[in-house]
Chains A and B, each alone.
Chain A
Amino acid sequence: KAGVTQTPRYLIKTRGQQVTLSCSPISGHRSVSWYQQTPGQGLQFLFEYFSETQRNKGNFPGRFSGRQFSNSRSEMNVSTLELGDSALYLCASRTGEPGELFFGEGSRLTVL
Chain B
Amino acid sequence: SQKIEQNSEALNIQEGKTATLTCNYTNYSPAYLQWYRQDPGRGPVFLLLIRENEKEKRKERLKVTFDTTLKQSLFHITASQPADSATYLCAPTNFGNEKLTFGTGTRLTIIP
Contact of A48 among B49, B99, B102 (CB under 8 A): B99
Q: Are A42 and B102 in contact (CB under 8 A)?
A: yes
Can you list, as one digit per residue, whether each of B72-112 has a CB less than 8 Å from chain A (1) or not (0)?
Answer: 00000000000000000100010001111111110000000
B34 touches A (CB below 8 Å): yes
The CA-CA distance from A88 to B41 in the complex, in Å, is: 8
B residues less than 8 Å from A92 (CB atoms): 43, 100
* B11 vs chain A, min Cβ distance (A): 16
A residues less than 8 Å from B32 (CB atoms): 98-99
CB nearest to B43 among chain A residues: A103
Q: Are B98 and A43 in contact (CB under 8 A)?
A: no
Contact of B34 among A100, A103, A104 (CB under 8 A): A100
Main secondary structure of the interface of A (DSSP, over half): strand
Q: Are B99 and A99 in contact (CB under 8 A)?
A: no
B42 touches A (CB below 8 Å): yes
By CB atoms of chain B within 10 A, which of A31, A41, A101 has the most?
Answer: A101
Q: Are A101 and B46 in contact (CB under 8 A)?
A: yes
A66 touches B (CB below 8 Å): no
How many A residues are at the interface, by size bracket? 20 to 34
Give residues 50-101 of A contacting B (CB, 8 Å): 55-56, 58, 88, 90, 92, 98-101
Q: Are A48 and B98 in contact (CB under 8 A)?
A: yes
B16 touches A (CB below 8 Å): no
A residues less than 8 Å from B100 (CB atoms): 33, 45, 92, 101
The CA-CA distance from A47 to B77 in the complex, in Å, is: 32
Contact of B44 among A41, A45, A56, A103 (CB under 8 A): A103
A residues less than 8 Å from B31 (CB atoms): 98
**B residues adjacent to A (C-beta < 8 A):** 31-32, 34, 36, 41-46, 49, 89, 93, 97-105
